[in-house]
Amino acid sequence: MLLLLGVGRSGIAAELAAHLDACMIDEPPWGAAADPHRGIYPDIFGRIAAYTGLAIDYTPTPLARTLDDVASGNCSFTITSWAAGRSDRIVRGEAMAALDYGVALRKGLKLADYDQLHGLTIALPRGLLIGDPFDHDPDLRKVPVYGYEQAMTMVEGGHADGVVGSFLTLHRIMQRHASADRFDQDFVLAHVELALQLNKAFAQTDAARQLNEAVAMLRQDGSAERIIRAHFSIETD
């Protein structure tokens, strides 16, 4: 899907030179292959294109594959939750917003501290990293699944004690499934920044500098948070 908003300052040749490839996580409301014009990513990329004059071609990509595609150069960048362990493969850019991440626990479970997660079964959407100690704790029983929807279904069906992820995302799925009564406590693990994550070679370019400036602007004027929260309302489905 190609966004050409804001391009035209130097004609078609400049338009082609400014063409960028982005990965759009294929998980509503962030984005979806079935409706590539709708979601947080199309809105954010549209704002960036209008601000910079860069043409952004974005491809819906499974969460588990997104960072590999950025690291390999299949796409130049994405915007997703940042984890320090990625810095050997990917360059972190400007933060767009910050979200609470943690474990939504099944009904009847309440935790007082992190250590009480041990012994529980946690459904983990593939590719999700939120930082230590959770990401690299060998004593946690984490079951990788394809994405948020499948992780939530495991808890709803009694096959897991909780699901880890962004609470905005988890609560939206609960609303859509009418399953909030099957969950109890939100156990916060981290305040995670959503940030530009750039291919290492691309990060050295002028286009990357412009992307960083645009994302900083969207954060500072509140546009990014307004777009995110608007799309997480189930009334927008």
169-176 long-range CB contacts below 8 Å, 24 or more apart?
Answer: 169/27, 169/232, 170/104, 171/232, 172/29, 172/232, 172/234, 173/148, 173/149, 174/104, 175/234, 176/234, 176/237
Task: With a cut of 50, list the residues of the chain below it in pLDDT.
Answer: 1-17, 236-237
Helix H or strand E segment including 15: helix 11-17
Residue 232 confidence (pLDDT): 82
Residue 82 confidence (pLDDT): 87
Residue 20 confidence (pLDDT): 86
Q: What are 2's strand-pairing partners?
A: 57
For residue range 35-84, what is the model confidence (pLDDT) as tens digits?
A: 888 899 999 999 999 998 888 988 888 888 899 999 999 999 999 888 87
Residue 31 confidence (pLDDT): 87
Helix H or strand E segment including 195: strand 183-199
Residue 15 confidence (pLDDT): 37
Residue 68 confidence (pLDDT): 94
Domains and CATH numbers, the chain: 2-98+193-236 (3.40.190.10), 99-191 (3.40.190.10)
